[in-house]
Structure 1
């Protein structure tokens, strides 16, 4: 398999079977579980583990697992619904920009300390780079900065003029409901300790489980 380490090589030198490692990492990313929840669950199965061991597994394997999952990911649709929500980092609220398509598949996300035109533009630039093409329509809530960001990007040529911009609270219920999955997942983690930690693309950042909650 071009570009991927073999499974034997991926788990070489580990003291636990790869099935146990895969199970712990998958459950952590998919369900509302903390490392200590997983320690207790494994103990009930006769497997004594330290929570730091599972934490190291998640850090090490989540990026690789995500690469492999992405091979089977369906292409997102051309109708994007974007919204912002709040998560807590080091006791302070920051803004999580997210977009999903009409089927609820994650388009992209971006964490920002500010909620303004520049932050919205940065999110759209990131989403366009990730997806490789512009959407047919972007649905927003009534927040003026996001609308202005789209208009200015269209005027500058960063977004095609044919992209339709609309505001619909009803249609944006898809993304607003989807935020619940992310917040339910961050709850057992007791928030992030550092902004750079929560922004990065690895097992302790938002990327892996933001995609897996869908």
Structure 2
């Protein structure tokens, strides 16, 4: 069965070539499995069965190893190809289960719904909120306004950062204005649900980074050459080129 989009056949950059050095499968098979894993509600066992139907014998644990090794490369490449975002942000956190315990995925989108940044934290407090804002501000610029919920921790983190700047960020606390980011959480939670929780924090962070990367591609946030319209699959594979 042919796929709609095929991974690139160009020579690989040194970074991804180093990652692939000990992975003894065709590049196209590995990239396709990794993309399907972050794009659709599939488990690694689902992918094992699907690849077997295509004549490729691969264990689900091997697929998981590809995911963990390759996704950080894709996330890093994506951060260098993101379109600018707006200056009105909506920030919120959602729950992610790791080894039977709830952890917290901090996320922010602009008023157009484009993802600004994300960060998985072990706790939900002022220190965690501040780490998230520092990461977002460093990578995506300074907004004019940030809308948060009624969480005092999020407000305190923004106020502490604002005290270090000449022009403080305007803080709005309005749960209705924050519906945009809360709705955007659903795309991430929908993909995470078949995984039935993560086994460790490191794997959770890597996989969530890959899911967020694919989500941003689908929302049209990846820069592409002018005059060329690539599918989400083609854009994902281009990150390996």
TM-score by length of 1: 0.83
Structure 2: any 5+ residue segments left out of the alignment?
1-9, 217-241
TM-score by length of 2: 0.75
Aligned residue in 2 for 1:116: 125
The Cα offsets for residues 71-123 of structure 1, whole Å up to 9 and x where unpaired, read as 43212222211001111111111222111122222222222232222221121
After TM superposition, the structure 1 stretch with the greater mean CA deviation from structure 2, 8-17 or 145-154, is 8-17
Q: How far off is 1:134 after superposition?
A: 1.2
After TM superposition, the structure 1 stretch with the greater mean CA deviation from structure 2, 7-16 or 107-116, is 7-16
Structure 1 residues 49, 83: closer, same or farther in 2, change over 3 A?
same
Structure 1 residues 8, 95: closer, same or farther in 2, change over 3 A?
closer
Runs of 4+ in 1 over 3 A off after TM superposition: 6-16, 67-72
CA distance in 2, matches of 1:145, 1:6: 38
**What does residue range 1-214 of structure 1 map to in structure 2 within 5 Å?**
4-5=13-14, 15-131=24-140, 133-155=141-163, 157=164, 159-199=165-205, 202=206, 205-214=207-216
CA distance in 1, matches of 2:58, 2:203: 24
Root-mean-square deviation over aligned CA pairs: 2.6
The Cα offsets for residues 2-30 of structure 1, whole Å up to 9 and x where unpaired, read as x9339877756754332221111111122
8 Å contact kept, 2:129–2:154:
yes
Highest RCO, 1 vs 2 (Cα 8 Å, sep ≥ 6): 2
Structure 1: any 5+ residue segments left out of the alignment?
none
Structure 1 residues 45, 128: closer, same or farther in 2, change over 3 A?
same
